[in-house]
Copies of this chain bind each other. A is one copy, B any other.
């Protein structure tokens, strides 16, 4: 691999999604080398106008009369994600609530669908909220949690997971892309193995959606949730999506019964009677403003195409890995993601005992990575708006900081939020 800046420029010149960069605010203007698209995606240029339309036209002028449009927003944006991002069918995806609430709803529903089974399986290195939701549901129901160990760098070994599956397992909760290492699970194989064991798998697609193809229908996925503020660029705290395979929808009991899951909602009938279809997984009034922002972000991903984004994400990751090997390894920085690009999502993680000091030094120099306790620096060059030269320049800055030792002057104790 040619590791010159000119080679990175050549990759940018040949990039089929390069034009999308101009559709994000700040990209190319703010001087930031933003490698945290895996945490909070940049703002699409079109978002402020979409919000203005919702607040100034629909809310301020339309007032309650706008409900004729708002009432379908959660499924409209869901269908957009289904077709353009997730490889699912219409009526299989709904947007609303937080990722954690959606995880809870589908986990409880799935556990109810496997009566007599008393074990929930999760991955010991999964994102905290996934593990906490599993622990909370297990405690409330008197179930046992089986935490499958994962190699922190390489992700879950499928044979280790297979060994944890037996007739006691009701539900398995897993992330398609591991938040710490970026390790990509084999969604189809795991789904098959879990189904063969008589259990259901609930996928968390937070670090996958918009970054890698998840092909929910083709992979036979039953249940999934995911975040829209990372690679989908829906904005801070944007509502999550949930997916339930059509055939399963009416077999599942959604545990939080609210008026937006009710058949003929405005009849306000005496008895809860869930609407057929994906809307039975809705709960309260949909977050109208936030949905407008999600819609803009999702449209951009759909327009660029997940396959093209994944290919670029993989190439960006390969550049990170090659430069890390060449420039950073001599400074004691090690790759903490799978080396095989086919086993990675769109972020690459580095391990360094000085990870926190390094993160602070980089942020002060306009390079924004993402620190993850205790010793990891995640680099998430989102393919929609990050150039190969951005990665090159950011890696050069990391090399400079490490070579100069300037990061050693930063606090070792964490005192600020990242």
Which of A125-133, A210-218, A325-333, A395-403 lies at the interface with chain B? Answer: A125-133
A392 at the interface (CB under 8 A from B): no
Least CB distance from A62 to B in Å reads 9
Least CB distance from A410 to B in Å reads 15
Asked if B284 and A129 make an inter-chain contact with CB atoms under 8 angstroms apart, the answer reads yes
A314 at the interface (CB under 8 A from B): no
Copies of the protein in its oligomer: 2
Least CB distance from A284 to B in Å reads 3
Q: What 0/1 readout, one digit per residue, does chain A (31-62) give for beta carbons within 8 Å of chain B?
A: 01010100110110001100110111011110
Contact with A98, one of B42, B129, B133, B284 (Cβ below 8 angstroms): B284
Least CB distance from A372 to B in Å reads 7
Chain B residues contacting A229 (CB-CB under 8 Å) are 285
Asked if B68 and A416 make an inter-chain contact with CB atoms under 8 angstroms apart, the answer reads yes
Least CB distance from A268 to B in Å reads 5
CA A99 to CA B261, docked complex, whole Å: 14
Interface size class of A (residues with CB under 8 A): 35 or more
Which of A86-94, A154-162, A234-242, A345-353 lies at the interface with chain B? Answer: A234-242
Chain B residues contacting A320 (CB-CB under 8 Å) are none
Q: What 0/1 readout, one digit per residue, does chain A (276-293) give for beta carbons within 8 Å of chain B?
A: 000000011111111101
Chain B residues contacting A270 (CB-CB under 8 Å) are 124, 131
Chain B residues contacting A260 (CB-CB under 8 Å) are 100
Chain B residues contacting A101 (CB-CB under 8 Å) are 97, 101, 256, 258, 283-284
User: Known contacts A71-B417, A266-B417, A283-B101: does B63 contact A289 (CB below 8 Å)?
Assistant: no
CA A235 to CA B56, docked complex, whole Å: 11
Contact with A257, one of B127, B132, B259, B418 (Cβ below 8 angstroms): B132
A404 at the interface (CB under 8 A from B): no
Chain B residues contacting A66 (CB-CB under 8 Å) are 236
User: Known contacts A132-B258, A235-B289, A272-B136: does B240 contact A284 (CB below 8 Å)?
Assistant: yes
CA A39 to CA B63, docked complex, whole Å: 10
A16 at the interface (CB under 8 A from B): no
A25 at the interface (CB under 8 A from B): yes
19 A–B pairs (Cβ distance < 8 Å), ordered by A:
A26-B60, A48-B52, A51-B51, A51-B55, A64-B368, A66-B236, A67-B417, A97-B101, A98-B284, A100-B257, A104-B256, A132-B258, A132-B261, A235-B288, A237-B288, A266-B417, A266-B418, A268-B373, A289-B289
Point out residues on A near B: beta carbons under 8 Å. Answer: 25-26, 30, 32, 34, 36, 39-40, 42-43, 47-48, 51-52, 54-56, 58-61, 63-68, 70-71, 97-101, 104, 124, 127-129, 131-133, 135-136, 140, 227, 229, 235-240, 255-262, 265-272, 283-291, 293, 363, 368, 370, 372-373, 414, 416-418
Q: Which 3 A-B pairs have the closest CB atoms?
A: A98-B284, A136-B257, A100-B258
